[in-house]
Chain A
Amino acid sequence: MPSSESEKAFVRGEAKKFWREGEYNVWFSTLSIGGILLMALTLLVVVTINGLGAFWPSKLALIKLKEGTTYLGEIEQTSRQPNSKEQRIQVKIGNRDLYSLDFKWINLDEVESITYPEEVIALEREEYGNFYGFLKEVHSPDLASGASGLEAIWGLGDQAKTNLSKLSAELRAQAEEMESIRLRRLDLAYKNPQSPRLAGLDKTLAEMGVVFETQVSAQEQAAVESQAHYALFADAGGREKEIPLVKIHRFYYPNQMSLPAKLGHYAVRIYELFFTEPRESNTEGGLFPAIVGTVILVFTMSFVSFPLGVVAAVYMREYARKGVMVQAVRVAVNNLAGIPSIVWGIFGLAFFIYFVGGGIDAFFFPERLPTPTFGTGGVLWASSTLGLLTVPVVIVATEEALGSVPSEIRHGSLALGATQFQTLMRVVLPMSSPRIMTGFILAMSRAAGEVAPLMITGVVKLAPSLPIDLHAPFFHLERKFMHLGFHIYDVGFQSPNVEAAKPMVFVTTLLLLGVVLLMTSFSIFLRNRMKKRFTGRTF
């Protein structure tokens, strides 16, 4: 059979080609890239769906069991019962104050009926999570006779809320003012214990204290008065619960909502996520302080890491005499990149906080001791620690970048009578800037995702104030801060109600990814412009 002979020869030839030309290698690379892409995509999709799905106002199901009890809640998922073939559903029943657990597994074979009554109401509350139930009646001393429904007194509740937040803002302002006077007094007393101005300050403080007391009692009074506007609700089983309006963040009727209404609700929730403070030990509400904290942290880190890394690399590559010493430093730098980040954290605690921060306190704020000012964790020290941690990345990238500038170009500059420094500043650094930028991007992503060192250098679960605000000097880098990465750890693993916090974990992860993506895309945009400018043919 000549044809099959030639076919065989052809196959043999192809097989030979496959091995000799390394085609198997191409397949192998393709597979590995595909695998990596698949994993990254899966992660993104899982995080996105779980994260963004958390805010959708899903319907509330009224579930009646055969034995008579009823539950009201959002059906979260369906799965098989552990020891039988029957299905079971997980229901978010909310009402943590009544049931103490806000999730419940219900076996489907025990269910008599599932209905979606129109009139069920869902409340987002300031504490105890969501409430699902039925509105019974509303009470308010100012209620017009005959009016009913939550909408009728919602305005009164809003007024009370505004009033209360105004009062507490005044309280906070007064407290801050008193604190600054107290610090001034401390300072004065430290420098000159006999100063005649001390008595004056004491008097001011005492007067302010009186005002403060009256403000406190006014606030307490208002809080008590606000309780007068309340609504009576009943849960699925008929248990009644009075909830003051000021404790209700938002109410809605999920089973009556049209699609546009749901979309609107969703948009508001997303807005709150970005721009409001967290509630209920971070498991609800917004992530604004954590977003701000993360961004400020990475920016401050850049100011430590980038100059340090670039200057070190320039010295090593351009000025230092080539030899054992430079080689040793290079090896050391590469090894630094492998140190566990928690060790950096400990170093940051010892060096920055205790040594540098303690030194600053002893030198500039001795009157406040033993209360530390800089001698405790804060954005500055956390970002300095991260800066050191990422310096190796910047050094390695910058060295490579400088090495990639052709020597002809350097010689061209030197031959025109430029000094080495001029050559560096005018030709070498601009030409290597795109590659240096690549190093920055890597360093930034690494820093944004790092959590362990932050935990001992100043990150907190809940920061009372942002590290940036409208009071001079605007940047308060000594302050403690919140961070998205730490938020994930805290909410996901340290929270008392892990199940309820799960959506927040996904949302926070998504946000962290988003923030990193945003910052790196901006840097990549900058890098591409530089690349065009310094290697391309157009400007």
Chain B
Amino acid sequence: MTQHKIQFSPVMRVRGLDLYYGTAQALFSVDMDIPKHQVTALIGPSGCGKSTFLRCLNRMNDLLGSVSIQGKIEMDDGTDIYDKHQDPIQLRRQVGMIFQKSNPFPKTIYENVVYGLRIAGVNDKKTLDQVVESSLTRAALWDEVKDRLDQSALGLSGGQMQRLCIARAVAVGPEILLMDEPCSALDPKSTAKIEDLILELRGKYTIVIVTHNMQQASRVSDYTGFFYEGKLIEFDRTQQIFTNPKNQQTEDYITGRFG
């Protein structure tokens, strides 16, 4: 496995990550440094392990039961997130996640945004109001919903719901946002809005986005990692990957010869 030496300050260091679903190995010794306050795109054909890898970063794989993991994922303060003293609840507050299918709770828009705060025990009305406004503004949704915060989130359009989910994740104040194909269920217009939002959030948050859409990866990301059959084949600046990939497989994939 090649060591990717790129100049940036990493927020997370993944070292020698192996992952097994039962006995089947899904990730093979993945090493990756995730650059701080940049957008990192993970691309690759279906089943290559990119989503599995993404879920390792906030330990969502723990919920699947039969998953076992070897290797290390270090935060920038040096703690291993898979250390047995590490609390996954705490980790997930630092590493938020947006899912492929938008999943607002059947509550009001307001309650959706403050959900993360409420479960953390914050109930002060003033704080919550502030967070709702700032988060929705960050998610570019405030102007559209400010008059109907007390209405059900299920009445929003698909794109609005996805932005609400982003606002909900942002409200907790994470450092990293993981996005698992956030636009795959959206129409081009809503996709464009989410992409604008990602560019907007860049610089304030570290974003790791899994996408099937290579144009999207090239549009929104600073760095790109190419996964194939559970291995990280190449990881570099997006421009580099898309214009001058070092690896033949990467080039074949990007030029559409397979996948």
A-side residues, CB < 8 A to B, are 322, 406, 408-409, 411-419, 422, 426-427, 430-431, 533-539
- Specify which of B96, B118, B119, B151 is in contact with A538 (CB 8 Å cutoff): B151
Q: Is the interface of A mostly helix, strand, loop or mixed?
A: helix
List B contacts of A535 (CB < 8 A): 106, 154
* Cβ contacts under 8 Å, A406 to chain B: 103
Chain B nearest CB from A422 CB (Å) reads 5
A-B contact pairs, 14 of them (CB 8 A): A406-B103, A412-B105, A412-B165, A413-B119, A415-B92, A416-B92, A417-B89, A417-B119, A417-B172, A419-B89, A426-B118, A427-B105, A430-B106, A431-B106
**Provided the pairs A408-B101, A422-B119, A539-B152 are in contact, do residues A416 and B108 lie with their beta carbons within 8 angstroms?**
no
Determine which of B58, B103, B172 lies in contact with A409 in the assembled complex, contact meaning CB atoms within 8 Å: B103
B115 at the interface (CB under 8 A from A): yes
- B23 adjacent to chain A (CB < 8 Å): no
A539 to B152, CA, bound (A): 7
Which residues on B are within 8 Å of A, measured CB to CB?
58, 60, 63, 65, 89-90, 92-93, 96-97, 99, 101, 103-106, 108, 115-116, 118-120, 150-152, 154-155, 165, 168-169, 172
* Closest beta carbon of chain A to B68's beta carbon, Å: 16
Q: Are A413 and B154 in contact (CB under 8 A)?
A: no
Hey, which chain A residues are within 8 Å of B155, CB to CB? Answer: 537-538
Chain A residues with Cβ below 8 Å from B168 are 412, 416
Q: Which of A322, A413, A536, A539 contacts B105 (CB 8 A)?
A: A413
Q: How far is the CA of A84 from the CA of B65 in the complex (A)?
A: 81
Q: Nearest B residue to A421 by beta-carbon distance?
A: B119
B76 to chain A, nearest CB (A): 19
Say yes or no: A409 contacts B152, CB within 8 Å: no
Contact A416 B169 (CB under 8 A): yes
Given contacts A427-B105, A430-B106, A535-B106, is CB(A416)–CB(B151) below 8 Å? no
Contact A413 B152 (CB under 8 A): no
- Alpha-carbon distance A438/B147, docked complex (angstroms): 35
Q: A416-B172, A536-B152, A537-B154 are in contact. Are A411 and B119 (CB under 8 A)?
A: no
- List chain B residues, Cβ under 8 A from A539: 108, 150-152
Q: Which residues of B contact A322 (CB under 8 A)?
A: 65
For A409, give the chain B residue with the smallest CB separation.
B103
- In the bound complex, do residue B154 and residue A536 qualify as a contact, i.e. CB atoms below 8 Å apart? yes
Judge whether B106 and A533 touch: CB under 8 Å: yes
Measured in the bound complex, the distance between the Cα atoms of B168 and A479 in whole Å is: 54
Which of A408, A417, A422, A427 is within 8 Å of B93, CB to CB?
A417
B185 CB to nearest A CB, Å: 11
Contact B154 A416 (CB under 8 A): no
Task: Say which residue of A409, A411, A417, A533 sits within 8 Å of B116 (CB atoms).
Answer: A417
Q: Which residues of B contact A427 (CB under 8 A)?
A: 105
A419 to B118, CA, bound (A): 12
Output the least CB separation between A364 and chain B (Å): 42
Q: Are A411 and B99 in contact (CB under 8 A)?
A: yes
Report yes or no: A411 in contact with B105, Cβ–Cβ below 8 A.
Answer: no
- Contacting pair B103 A411 (CB below 8 A): yes
Q: 10 other contacts beyond A418-B89, A431-B106, with CB at 8 A cut-off?
A: A409-B105, A412-B165, A413-B115, A415-B99, A416-B92, A418-B119, A426-B118, A533-B106, A534-B106, A539-B108
Contacts of A415 in B (CB 8 A): 58, 60, 92, 96-97, 99, 169
Q: Which 8 pairs, one residue from A and one from B, show the smallest C-beta to C-beta distance?
A: A417-B93, A537-B155, A412-B103, A415-B97, A416-B116, A408-B103, A534-B106, A417-B92
Smallest CB separation, A352 vs chain B (Å): 39
Q: State the CA gap A409–B103 with chains docked (Å).
A: 5
Partner of A426, one of B63, B119, B120, B165: B119
Among B65, B90, B104, which residue has its beta carbon within 8 angstroms of that of A417? Answer: B90
Determine the distance from Cα of A427 to Cα of B105 in the docked complex, in whole angstroms.
7
What's the Cα separation between A406 and B104 when bound, in Å? Answer: 11
CB-defined contacts of A412 to chain B, threshold 8 Å = 99, 103-105, 165, 168
Q: How far is the CA of A406 from the CA of B120 in the complex (A)?
A: 23
A416 with B106: CB separation less than 8 A = no
Residue ID in chain B nearest A419 by CB atoms: B89
Q: Residues of B contacting A536 with CB < 8 Å?
A: 152, 154
CB-nearest residue of chain A relative to B150? A539
Residues of B within 8 A of A416 (CB): 92-93, 96, 115-116, 119, 168-169, 172
**Bound complex: CA A431 to CA B60 (Å):** 22
Q: Is the CB of B92 within 8 A of A411?
A: no
Q: Closest Cβ of chain B: how far from A404's Cβ, in Å?
A: 13
* Distance, CA A419 to CA B63, complexed state (A): 12
Contact A417–B99 (Cβ < 8 Å): no
Q: Which residues of B sit under 8 angstroms from A426, Cβ to Cβ?
A: 105, 115, 118-119
- B89 CB to closest chain A CB (Å) equals 5
A residues within 8 A CB of B169? Answer: 415-416
Q: A406-B103, A417-B172 are in contact. Are A411 and B93 (CB under 8 A)?
A: no
Chain B residues closer than 8 Å to A413, beta-carbon distance:
105, 115, 119
- Decide if B106 touches A411 in the complex (CB within 8 Å): no
- Please give, as numbers and ranges, the residues of chain B lying within 8 Å of A538 by CB-CB distance: 151-152, 155
Residue in A closest to B115 when the chains form the complex, CB atoms = A416
Which one of A412, A416, A418, A431 has the highest number of Cβ atoms from chain B below 10 Å of its Cβ?
A416
Most chain A beta-carbon contacts within 10 A, residue among B58, B65, B106, B155: B106
The interface residues of chain A lying within 8 Å CB-to-CB of B152 are 536-539
- Chain A nearest CB, measured from B257 CB (Å): 33
Q: Which residue of A lies closest to B153 (CB)?
A: A537
**Chain A residues whose C-beta falls within 8 Å of the C-beta of B101 in the assembled complex:** 408
Of the candidates B65, B108, B115, the one having the most CB atoms from chain A within 10 angstroms of its own CB is: B115
B104 to A, closest residue via Cβ? A412
| B116 → chain A closest CB, angstroms | 4
The distance from the CB of A426 to the nearest CB of chain B, in whole angstroms, is 7
Q: How far, in angstroms, from A427 to B153 measured CA to CA in the complex?
A: 14
